[in-house]
Amino acid sequence: MPIRPIVTMSGLRLGTASVAFTSIDERALALAVDLIDTMRDSPACVGLAAPQIGVELRAFSLDCSSHKKTNVCHGEFVMFNPVILALEGEDQAREGCMSVPDLTGDVPRAYSIVVEGLDVRGEPLRIESEGFEARALQHEIDHLNGLLFLDRVQSPSGLHQRRVYR
């Protein structure tokens, strides 16, 4: 499937809550492939939500296995219609986003999470995670709810210019 262009924060779709899938059909599976392929093609990307490729549906891909801060990892997966069942603890860390290419920000998030949704077979998928992967899950679910990490930065001093190394 094609690698899709990333919608940046100027894109109107990023501020809109996504629509749930009624079934995991061929359209959903094609979206799953596009999410994975686009995520894999993007350096340092650990997750990608459907709105970031211009699709207003509740789906995201995630794979934290290659990130140095990962302490819990469920490998590469796509989740449809995620629902957060539990959040615990609090942790603040810097986040970046492909849809906000020039900034990073210090974002408070829950340290642990339980999320439930559907996998690519339409079967229930439950993820219990903590640390970096829990942060990434919350970040991607925020995209599905029309939020960017910028909406969670608590003060202007929490924003940072992204350094580009060439």
Asked whether the beta carbons of 99 and 124 are under 8 A apart, the reply is: no
Q: Which residues are catalytic?
A: 140
Which phi-psi region, left, alpha or beta, contains residue 2 (left: φ > 0; alpha: ψ -120 to 50)? beta
Asked whether the beta carbons of 128 and 69 are under 8 A apart, the reply is: no
43 alpha carbon, distance to own chain's centre: 15
Distance in angstroms (rounded) separating the CA atoms of residues 59 and 165: 31
Count, residues in the chain: 166
